Structure 1
Amino acid sequence: MLCSSERGMAAEEKPGVKSSSSIVPCFLFVELVIMAGTVLLAYYFEYTDTFPVHIQGFFCYDKTFSKPYPGPDDTSKIPPVLIYSLVTAIPTFTILVGELCAFFTKAEGTQEKTIVTADCCYFNPLLRRIIRFLGVYAFGLFTTTIFANAGQVVTGNQTPHFLSACRPNYTALGCQSTMQYITERRACTGNPLIVMSARKSFPSKDAALSVYSAVYTVMYVTLVFRTKGTRLTKPTVSLTLLCLAMLVGVVRVAEYRNHWADVLAGFFTGGAIAVFLVTCVINNFQQMQPPPPPPRPQRPESVLGMPMVTLPCVESPLEKLRGDLHSPRSHDHQPYRFPTTPDVLIPSRSISSEV
């Protein structure tokens, strides 16, 4: 077994390989623990009564909650099974195709380095990116479910068909006017499971999951697919996914399963989580960029800010005189002697003035 420094030196000797001793511990003891806790919390919100739903009252004969009962969610035109299948299959297929195409079409210098953590543990950049993007997507999917379920449990807002599912006995409750507010917990005589489901309306979970999946996939397609000639392909795919997500919310409102405010809140929740994960967690699906070219040497500049080669070359008189001294022009080949200056400077006065 090599020590860490020897492993690092061995990794550096191979081109395109870098050493990292923290990727496996962080993945096993931090990221997997967080992921498991997220999945467990989503399960408790969805399938158990660990977190009781807040019981809200209602007005007698309230028309806002008097829409006909549309039946269980499985009878919807877009049932939850179809929604969950699409939000799982479409992003997974898109990311797999995108990463395979990007890996086999990238230039040699732009590919990410293989990470080595031991003598036998190598992480291929293709596998690493797929696990990263799909892992973050799965984390966001369960997080969106937790946010939606938490909002429904805390608020306890009723669906448009709440009174049809509740079936309150207005005579026993003494309802004589529409302004009378009922706060009794046992006011409903319908199926308790259906009544409890009718109290979970805000925000719409199906709308939140569909928009989260659509926004995440659209941002991946827009930021990763950079092939020339796809000027209309990417907008078509993106708008199709967004329209399908919007259609889920429209169907939920048309079937009296949610209010418009519930659907809009679900859209905002799913879209905000998707944008946050893409921009702040995985940094806009950035790939390894090629190293920038070395900077070109710049010519020295003068004080005026202009290159020195552009200024005219002016010969100094002293240099010209020095060149004449060294040139063999004189016939006696004697060096030229400068006239000596007098040691005493005689003031320029006229003799007549002194006389």
Structure 2
Amino acid sequence: MSSLRPASVCDTTPLQRFESQSSSGEEPSSPTAASIVAAAAAAAAAASAASTSNSHQLQLQLQHQHPLQQQEQLHNNNNNINDNVKVDLQLPPFVGVTADAMRLANGHSANGAKQRRRGTAQIFGRVAVDVSLLFCLGFTMFGLSLYVEPHKRGFFCNDLSLRHPYKESTIRSWMLYLMCVLLPVAMILLVEFYRAQDWSRHHNQPGSGYYLCHMELPHWAVDSYRMISTLFFGLAVEQMTTDLAKYTIGRLRPHFFTLCKPMLLDGTTCADYVNEGRYIEEYTCTAKDISVKQFKNMHLSFPSGHSSFVFFSMIYLAIYLQRRVNCSRLRMLRHLLQFLLVMFAWYTALTRVSDYKHHWSDVLAGSAIGIVYAFLVTSNFW
């Protein structure tokens, strides 16, 4: 009865099961590493059994032969084994597919590593170029303010525009840097992060292609760096333009007489009648509490540095919001922020006149410089 029992699946080798499935027209099961190893082991066992049987038959033949004949028989048998004994192992077709998949995976892995190295080199190269440019501009401005003296411009003793009182600035320098540097940076980071989160909820966002320490940088970080580096570059070039005009022209500030109290080389002052309407070029400041920095700063009225700085930053940020915040439900909020930014720039410029730090024409020229550079550096936003 046992001889009539169908062979169990467990009684057949994996190779036999695959051949039976192929002959019956059934689709083979999905390839696994275990099936491949089992097929290879079965083939090796069959080859080992055949080799053992041939060796046993050879020993029986050699027992009845002469020793010389035994050696010749052994030599011929070894040659026959080397020439004729072959293991015809027909592995399933998925073995080649698996090998191709492994080679393809290895290729993708190598390409990924190469892409990461290229992306890291690109971002480091770009950052190095940007930092070098900003360093050169900053070093030039620092050397200009430290070693270059502004043009010493003369004055008329009866010039009433130079007789205003001295006042402290309404918008201090730290307030200006806070509003024109830190606020734009924080707002750019917030907007770019929001845009990335909103996009990822509706689309599959591809990688940025830039890597840092084998980690791919997100798109919002790359875009934020691009916007912030453009902001810093624009601030540097507009400030360079403003300082160049300041040191070249050397216009006196409205509080010049109050802070300097000039005295002519002949010992007379502008209070003397003989000097009325006279243009003075050689003089000395008699004020005891004036410092070298204040004396130098008195000749840097045109154009207004505060006005060019604040107008560039605020207009740049307003254009950035117009370009990047294009969500319809945030339209009114975007316009409100743009209005507040422009109003802050306008108020800062007005205080430079009311604080007697600049003439109105100084503020106008400085504002124009900031606005022009803001539109120039944001021209690629459109």
1:187 matched residue in structure 2: 284
Moved over 6 A (4+): 6-9
1:33 matched residue in structure 2: 132
1:229 matched residue in structure 2: 329
By how many angstroms is 1:189 displaced? Answer: 2.2
Match of 2:185 among 74, 84, 92: 92
1:241 matched residue in structure 2: 341
Residue 240 of structure 2 corresponds to residue 139 of structure 1? no
CA distance in 2, matches of 1:274, 1:24: 25
Q: Does the CA-based 8 Å contact 1:162-1:195 persist in structure 2?
A: no
By how many angstroms is 1:54 displaced? Answer: 0.5
CA distance in 2, matches of 1:56, 1:89: 36
By how many angstroms is 1:158 displaced? Answer: 0.8
The residue type equivalent to 1:51 in the other structure is: V
Residue 247 of structure 2 corresponds to residue 153 of structure 1? yes
3-state DSSP of counterpart to 2:191: helix
Q: Percent identity?
A: 21
3-state DSSP of counterpart to 1:114: coil
CA distance in 2, matches of 1:28, 1:217: 22
By how many angstroms is 1:178 displaced? Answer: 3.0
1:54 matched residue in structure 2: 151
CA distance in 1, matches of 2:179, 2:213: 40
Q: 1:255 to 1:116 in 2, by over 3 A?
A: closer
3-state DSSP of counterpart to 2:328: coil
Spell out, residue by residue over 1:100-132, the C-alpha distance to the aligned partner (whole angstroms, 9 max, x if none): 110011156584642156993633322111111
2:216 matched residue in structure 1: 122
Match of 1:212 among 288, 292, 312: 312
The residue type equivalent to 2:191 in the other structure is: G
Q: Which has the higher helix share?
A: 2
Q: Does the CA-based 8 Å contact 1:113-1:125 persist in structure 2?
A: yes
Match of 1:162 among 256, 262, 269: 256
1:326 matched residue in structure 2: none
Match of 1:172 among 261, 264, 267: 267
CA distance in 2, matches of 1:112, 1:178: 75
Q: Relative to structure 2, which stretch is displaced further, 220-229 or 166-175?
A: 166-175
1:267 matched residue in structure 2: 367
Spell out, residue by residue over 1:166-210, the C-alpha distance to the aligned partner (whole angstroms, 9 max, x if none): 2012672475143211111x3322324322211111111111111
By how many angstroms is 1:58 displaced? Answer: 0.5
| Bigger RCO of structures 1 and 2 (CA < 8 A, at least 6 apart) | 1
2:13 matched residue in structure 1: none
Please give the root-mean-square deviation of Cα atoms over the aligned residues, in Å: 2.9
2:37 matched residue in structure 1: none
The residue type equivalent to 1:181 in the other structure is: Y
Q: 1:100 to 1:58 in 2, by over 3 A?
A: same
Name which one, 1 or 2, has greater alpha-carbon Rg: 2
Corresponding pairs, count: 268
By how many angstroms is 1:152 displaced? Answer: 0.8
1:67 matched residue in structure 2: 164
Q: Does the CA-based 8 Å contact 1:140-1:274 persist in structure 2?
A: yes
The residue type equivalent to 1:247 in the other structure is: Y
Q: Relative to structure 2, which stretch is displaced further, 135-144 or 203-212?
A: 135-144
Q: 1:57 to 1:217 in 2, by over 3 A?
A: same
